[in-house]
Amino acid sequence: MSTHLLPKFVCKSMNTSFKNFWWGTKKDQKHKLYLKSWKSICQPKNEGGLGLRLMENMNMALLAKTGWEISQANTNVWHSILTKKYLKTNTFWQVTPKVTDSIFWKHLLQTRKLLEQDMCYQISNGTSVSAWIDPWIPSLESFRLNPLSHITDLSPSLKVSDFIIQESHYWNLPKMKQFFSHESIKEILKIPLPSTRLREDRHIWVKNHNGKFSVKTAYHLAAKSNNGIQVSNSNMDNTAFEKIWKLKIHDRHKLLLWKIFWDIPPTRGILKRFLSSMPSLLCPLCNEQEETLFHLFIECPISRILWRQSRWPLNISQW
């Protein structure tokens, strides 16, 4: 998955296998009942999902890791071979795909759109970074500058080093005021300049505190770009999910609370939404009332007996 973009049907087949395993569906089972959307289950835990992965997004994130590695300075043999073959005159960010390129290389270039969402330059001497074109201000949207209204020439020849006082290696504030907006200058001054000018400018991955590429954050970027995973939970209180996963109880109990929160344990009251005919809606324990979640855990007399006889006795009848 880190060398090619898999066909959609392969990713779909993998998603189906994971989904069937999670729901406990057997291969030869004709009628499959899924009580919750798989895309919503694959949302992050703090957004109401279980943090599982959709394979098409995972595939893109893993391939993006290879793209990130080829864009960085590297001494590996595979890196040297690909650089000599495909990057003779241009960088990974500038090269254009050719008809004669391999499938691997064409797929690798498709990750640039994802990588550019979170790639930013870390300024050292600023000689290789275009002030207008390249992303180099991590606290600004798209990591790029906002010019003053009268500035029309956004030439790539203007480098970040032009705004650094070479003798003291500090930002040249008077010169920046001639080109950049007040908001941009404010964010530029937050960028620390190293004491030595011998270091080269380098790419960093902004979403990771150490600047290194992270498959996890790349996956979330890919998921965000993929409209199919955006399942609206605007009416839900996400703090409730955070509290569930932070509880000091067994993971199985956390999962049960999560299912109860989403109203998806397969009680007869829930199954009637999906099945046109049910032999009976009565609780199989007491055979008195319809089996709902509230009845199963609170109202059912059998459940109340179990609560009282538990290790930590609870008198549910007083609730």
Taking only the tens place, the pLDDT of each residue in 223-248 is 988 754 444 454 556 788 989 999 99
The predicted pLDDT at position 319 comes to 62
- Nearest CA to 121 among 191, 180, 74, 195? 191
Contact residues for 93 (Cβ-Cβ < 8 A; gap 6+)? 71, 112, 116
Delimit the domains of the chain by residue range: 1-25+32-117+214-265, 119-206, 271-319
What six digits make up the tokens of 154? Answer: 């956004």
Sign of CA dihedral 206, 44, 63, 225: negative
**Taking the CA of residue 154 as centre, how many other CA atoms within 13 Å lie in the half-sphere pointing to its CB?**
13
Specify the higher pLDDT residue, 319 or 125.
125
Average pLDDT of the chain, as a whole number: 88
Cα–Cα–Cα angle for 111, 114, 119, rounded to 5 degrees: 110
The predicted pLDDT at position 228 comes to 47
pLDDT band of 152, cuts 50, 70, 90: low
pLDDT tens for residues 3-50?
A: 999 999 999 999 999 998 888 887 777 667 888 999 999 999 988 999
